[in-house]
Amino acid sequence: MPIQIKTLGRSDLLRLPPGEDLLVGLYRICREQGVSLGVFSATGSVRNATLGHLDQECGDACRQILDTDHELVHCGGNISLQADSLSIRAHAVVSDRQGQVSAGELLAAEVHVVELFVQEVKGAPLTRELDPETGLWLWPVA
């Protein structure tokens, strides 16, 4: 596949409201700003995070539910499309007050304080399609 040239669009640095779910907030910000392709990163402090770990055999995610407060040491990922809808994939590293570190795909997390950087990428849209081999929604391979 020939690689199409992409450039950077708008940038935003902002704080999500306390109590909002981090992913819900990310989808909201992307919709409000019309971002359908890009990358993001976030740090801060969250509650009740749910992490996922992909089982490569069956394509399902094992869920890890963290019911205490956690430092959001790093959250990052990308923004693209799945069918006509926005699709955000996020991964996160968190730690608790005893220094215990957890990490995985971020499936949910309630915002205590979350500072977010969203970087729009401009160019041909990237769309996730159902991959019959893995059962996952994936971009075409480059």
Does 110 interact with a second copy (rule: CB under 8 A)? Answer: no
Which positions ≥6 away from 78 have C-beta within 8 Å?
Answer: 38, 39, 40, 88, 89
One-letter amino acid identity for 116? L
**Binding to a second copy, residues 74-93 (CB under 8 A):** 74, 76-78, 80, 89, 91-93
Is there a contact between 22 and 113 (Cβ–Cβ < 8 Å)?
A: no
Is there a contact between 62 and 104 (Cβ–Cβ < 8 Å)?
A: no
Beta strands 38-54 and 69-82 are: antiparallel
Does 117 interact with a second copy (rule: CB under 8 A)? Answer: yes
Single out the residue of 23, 24, 27, 33 in contact with a second copy (rule: CB under 8 A). 33
Is there a contact between 53 and 64 (Cβ–Cβ < 8 Å)?
A: yes
Looking at the DSSP bridge assignments, the partners of residue 119 are 11, 39
Does 67 interact with a second copy (rule: CB under 8 A)? Answer: no
Single out the residue of 56, 58, 67, 84 in contact with a second copy (rule: CB under 8 A). 56
Binding site for a second copy (CB under 8 A): 3, 5-8, 10-18, 29, 32-33, 37, 39, 41, 43, 45, 47, 51-56, 62, 64, 69, 71-74, 76-78, 80, 89, 91-97, 99, 101-105, 112-113, 115, 117, 119, 121, 123, 126, 134, 136, 138-142
